[in-house]
């Protein structure tokens, strides 16, 4: 760690702390299956974090992650579960307790426009949202615990839904952009032409 001082035109001086970061590889593994997305976290009723891979073959693979305190010979990823979505290549993953059954659920979105929700390693729901690949997936929860799963696809459609119901859908091609303000400070405002589905 060092300190560097520089002067700027004799008026200001800036102090920058130089920080060295050392990284150590805790584990490494090559997978036979190609994967598009990964997530790390506690899922289902797991007591520790798992590595979750969303693979090209539409399968989700879960692995135990070795902890830093384990012996070096034990630092390999152990497969814990293989979950079939019965869909296309997995594009997005989210880990969140959407069912309120006391464990973290797994939400997977694929290239065929389908979202699959797993609860305790079983398919709870499958939602076909369109024909385009889902490129964004998030779970939004407000201050009082209301939640919605929000996805966006490559066709320009944004969906908000729950495991068994659609909340709303917005097709960006159905929105118009209007200019508000003077020419020097115009702002674009989206005027949705959407309706509840």
pLDDT in tens, 11-58: 555 555 677 788 877 777 888 899 999 999 999 989 889 999 999 999
For residue 2, the model assigns a pLDDT of 45
Is pLDDT of 90 > 90? yes
Is pLDDT of 169 > 80? yes
For residue 14, the model assigns a pLDDT of 55
For residue 1, the model assigns a pLDDT of 39
For residue 178, the model assigns a pLDDT of 67
Q: CA-CA distance, 56 to 8, in Å (whole number)?
A: 53
Q: CA-CA distance, 75 to 25, in Å (whole number)?
A: 11
Q: What is the mean pLDDT of residues 122-132?
A: 94
- Give 144 or 15, the one with higher predicted confidence: 144
Which string of DSSP letters, residue by residue, matches the chain?
-EEEEEEETTTEEEEEEE-------------SS-EEEEEEE--BT-SS-EEEEEETTSEEEEEEPPPTTS-GGG-SPEEEEEEE-SSS-EEEEEEE--S-SSSBEEEEEETTSEEEEEETTEEEEEEE--SSPEEEEEEEE-TTS-EEEEEEETTSEEEEEETTEEEEEEEGGG-EEEEES-STT-EEEEE------
For residue 68, the model assigns a pLDDT of 67
Task: Give the residues across from 7 on adjacent strands.
Answer: 13
- Give 10 or 132, the one with higher predicted confidence: 132
Q: Which two tokens stand for residue 54?
A: 């969303």
- Give 173 or 76, the one with higher predicted confidence: 173
Is pLDDT of 4 > 50? no
pTM of the model: 0.75
For residue 196, the model assigns a pLDDT of 40
């Amino acid at each position: 760690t060092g300190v560097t001082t520089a002067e700027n035109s004799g008026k200001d001086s800036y102090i920058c702390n130089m920080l060295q970061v050392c990284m150590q590889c805790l584990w490494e593994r090559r997978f036979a299956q190609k994967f598009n997305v990964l997530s790390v976290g506690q899922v289902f009723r797991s007591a520790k974090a798992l590595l979750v891979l969303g693979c090209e073959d539409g399968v989700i693979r879960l692995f135990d992650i070795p902890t830093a305190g384990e012996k070096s010979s034990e630092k390999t990823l152990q497969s814990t579960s293989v979950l079939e979505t019965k869909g296309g290549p997995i594009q997005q993953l989210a880990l969140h307790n959407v069912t309120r059954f006391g464990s973290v659920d797994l939400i997977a979105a694929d290239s065929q426009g389908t979202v699959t929700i797993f609860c305790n390693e079983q398919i709870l729901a499958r939602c076909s949202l369109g024909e385009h690949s889902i490129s964004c997936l998030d779970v939004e929860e407000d201050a009082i615990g209301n939640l919605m799963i929000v996805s966006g696809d490559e066709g320009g459609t944004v969906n908000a839904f729950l495991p068994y119901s659609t909340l709303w859908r917005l097709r960006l091609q159905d929105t118009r952009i209007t200019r508000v303000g003077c020419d020097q400070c115009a702002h674009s405002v989206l005027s949705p032409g959407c309706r509840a589905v």
